[in-house]
Structure 1
Amino acid sequence: HCPEPRPINVPQQFRTTSNSNVWEWQEQEQMFRGMTAEAMVTGQEKPFTVILIFDVTQHMSFFATLQRWFWIGLVISALVSAGLGWMVASSGMRPIRQVTRVAASMSAKSLKERIPLAPVPKELQQLVSSFNAMLSRLDDAFVRLSNFSADIAHELRTPVSNLMTHTEVVLSRKRDIEDYEDNLYSNLDDLKRMARMIDDMLFLAKSDNGLMTHEDKPIDLLEVVEKLLEYYRLLADERGISLTVSGRGRVRGDVLMLHRAISNLLSNALRYTPEGQTISMDIRQDLKKAIVTVENPGETIAPEHLEKLFDRFYRADPARREGSPSNAGLGLAITRSIIEAHEGRIWCTSSNGKTAFHMELPSSGLVRA
């Protein structure tokens, strides 16, 4: 049932056809919408002005209510979305929080702890794997540092103990001047060993911290090797050991440092070569690299020891001590540092009663024989 239309007072500005577009106005609490147009009637010279008016109060009220509920729904949806987002983010960040807890609890005694990969999403497994790998490297570095400290203490304890013992014996009673001189010479040997060890450790410390600098000059490897062989042949002849060299090569670097590196390899080979055998040195070169190989016969080194030979104070047989008092187990570690400082690499092979150390260095051009 529609209510009877009542008279409506149309504003004057809407009664002309100049306002032919849809217009609207409000009267008290009612909203009206209308349109003014002209219409021709048969038999009439002038057109009639037709005004069409609609009461849109209910429609406007409906749209206002709809808009209000729309904003309420939008606010509720935003709150629900924020809550769901927080739950999803909280669940996704759980592995990150676990990594944070593990990192915050890290100490020298807990480096072996690892984060399990099973509950971690695929997107974060790479991160957790990298974190576990970092912990493994830190654990390995800490163990090596601890062993290094223990080895230093062990190596320094022997000469210090000798110094104290010799001095206490000499001071136990009055002695001749010759006895004091003998004691001083004995102490001097131990002091030289300690000084050599300290120099070697300082050299390695500089290398580890990137403080080691070297010259960049052309070096003929054969000339360096031949100079070293002049000295080592005197030591080798005492045990009937032969030294041979073949090939040539040229590199760029510091001649004194490479002299020390090759000397360490020759000294190491001479120490473990049986009497009457031959130590051979071979120099090979191409356009990119030069390789110096020092090979000696002797006891085969097990494969698990080959990579560790270049660690400080490492010995393949812990029960075996070096024959030379001046040797502290740092020679191969120093050699590796020198080669790496020259952007090269060094490795060891051992099989069938022969052990060989290979030094690879960047080439600086072929050398004619």
Structure 2
Amino acid sequence: MRRLSLTARLGLLFMLALTAALLSAGLAFQHLSRQHFESLDHHVLLEKLHATQGVIGALNDVAELDSVRPQLHALLGAHQELRALLIDADGRVLFAVPEGARLPEARRVASGRLWLWQDGERLLRGMTSRVPLVGRAQGLTLLLAVDVTHHEAFFAELERWLWIALAVCALLSAGLGWLVARSGLRPLREVTQVAATVSARSLKERIPAQAVPVELRPLVTSFNGMLERLDESFVRLSNFSADIAHELRTPLTQLMTHTEVVLGRARSLEEYQEALYGNLEDLKRMARMIDDMLFLAKADNGLIVPERQPVALHQLTAQLLDYYRLLGEDAGVELSQDGSGMIDGDAGMLRRALSNLLSNALRYTPAGGCIRVHIDGGDGRVRLSVENPGPGIPAEHLGRLFDRFYRADPARREGGGHAGLGLAITRSIVEAHRGHIRCESANGLTRFELEFPAAQ
């Protein structure tokens, strides 16, 4: 089943709301009009009743009624739509206006309340009351009724026009609601048009938020933010693809050139073996690069889930420093450690992250320098810093230092078998452990600081 469009639904709701409001107003007007006319009829009947009681109430006997008959005719006969009956205790009609007027037998019991009676095509509203006589214990019964047929005709005509007006207003409000909804949803259609034209070449386009209603500004702001994030991701992906191509092209070119030179003429077995060993080193470097890129791809998609085991960072660091001290002795670099801390995490992944930082620090620390590892904890956090002297990193490069294949400058260039993925892998491992990493470089000192939640 095909669902109505948002414009049609808003127009329909507008029509229903307006129709309901008009219907309520019409019914309320009709009800108030009925009450008004009924109040007028009640007032007329009470006025005639009190006047009649004043004329008849002074009589001592029914026989004296003839003396006030002209007054009763003048009082009750002047109203063309009024019927009046005066009845004694035996049910005899003593006075009637007009002559031969009749009223229902069931209404001849005094009640003091208004009643309705249908007399053929005429509708009467009346009142019954007891009129006492001075000289008799039992008084007379007075029935007064007003012809309200014209009232009912007015209400029937009013109801007919009410339904006609309601139908016309419903149709007009449906069209007006559709136009209003369509006009109000124009900014939403503009957002849709921009979204439909978005491609890799048009990610720079933005929707101006000032030209849309207040209700749609959060949507437009979110959409523009999404385009900005997509643009940044696309740029990073394009740069990443270019970096991959560049990094893989270099060893492949070396392999091809080396192989072509070796095959250029006949060589001895030892020369072939030496050439194959050289090719194997390049292949291993390419394999490491591919493994690193796969690790980063899994980390970006949330597929790297570290184990949650208690890890003593000071013990893990001490084990790594035992290995790197051997390398540091050859380069004339010292390594020191102080502090302790416990976190929940994956020891293997943390070892890889710290190894990248120590390897990086050892590569750029000049002879005679000292690499310091400091661990401390507090406020439910554990912080580990790796500090080394050496060439500083310009401030404009610190924000992109953890991007893939990014190199700050030739002085910090990862040469040899390093493709520029170590710091990116380190950041992915730290973030997988719900931690943060940052770098500071000033006054000839470079420090990487890692922060983790403390062990529970």
Q: TM-score, normalised by structure 2?
A: 0.72
Q: Percent identity?
A: 57
1:328 maps onto 2:419 in alignment: yes
Return the index of the structure with the highest Cα Rg: 2
Which residues in structure 2 correspond to 1:1-369 (within 5 Å)? 10=102, 12-14=104-106, 16-17=108-109, 21-44=113-136, 46-79=138-171, 81-286=173-378, 288-317=380-409, 321-325=413-417, 327-364=418-455
CA distance in structure 2 between the partners assigned to 1:272 and 1:335 by the alignment? 18
Larger helix proportion of the pair: 2
Q: Using the TM superposition, name which of 166-175 and 342-351 deviates more.
A: 166-175
RMSD: 2.7
Paired residue secondary structure (1:310): coil
CA distance in structure 2 between the partners assigned to 1:8 and 1:298 by the alignment? 128
Paired residue secondary structure (1:299): coil
CA distance in structure 1 between the partners assigned to 2:227 and 2:107 by the alignment? 87
CA distance in structure 1 between the partners assigned to 2:143 and 2:308 by the alignment? 102
Give the CA deviation at 1:136: 0.9
CA distance in structure 2 between the partners assigned to 1:231 and 1:175 by the alignment? 40
Unpaired runs of at least 5, structure 2: 1-77, 82-96
Q: Is the 8 A contact 1:14 1:36 kept in 2?
A: no
Q: Using the TM superposition, name which of 267-276 and 313-322 deviates more.
A: 313-322
Unpaired runs of at least 5, structure 1: none
- Counterpart amino acid of residue 194 in structure 1: M
Q: Aligned pairs, how many?
A: 364
Q: Is the 8 A contact 1:37 1:51 kept in 2?
A: yes
Distance 1:209 1:343, change over 3 A: same
Deviations 1:29-88 (A, max 9, x none): 433222333323344564333221222122222222233333444445555555554444
CA distance in structure 2 between the partners assigned to 1:248 and 1:209 by the alignment? 32
Distance 1:19 1:152, change over 3 A: same
Q: TM-score, normalised by structure 1?
A: 0.88
Give the CA deviation at 1:319: 9.8
Give the CA deviation at 1:193: 0.6
CA distance in structure 2 between the partners assigned to 1:127 and 1:278 by the alignment? 54
Distance 1:54 1:250, change over 3 A: closer
Distance 1:220 1:22, change over 3 A: closer
Give the CA deviation at 1:336: 0.8
Q: Is the 8 A contact 2:391 2:411 kept in 1?
A: no
Q: Is the 8 A contact 2:125 2:147 kept in 1?
A: yes
Q: Using the TM superposition, name which of 19-28 and 204-213 deviates more.
A: 19-28
- Counterpart amino acid of residue 342 in structure 1: H
Paired residue secondary structure (1:308): coil
- Counterpart amino acid of residue 99 in structure 1: V
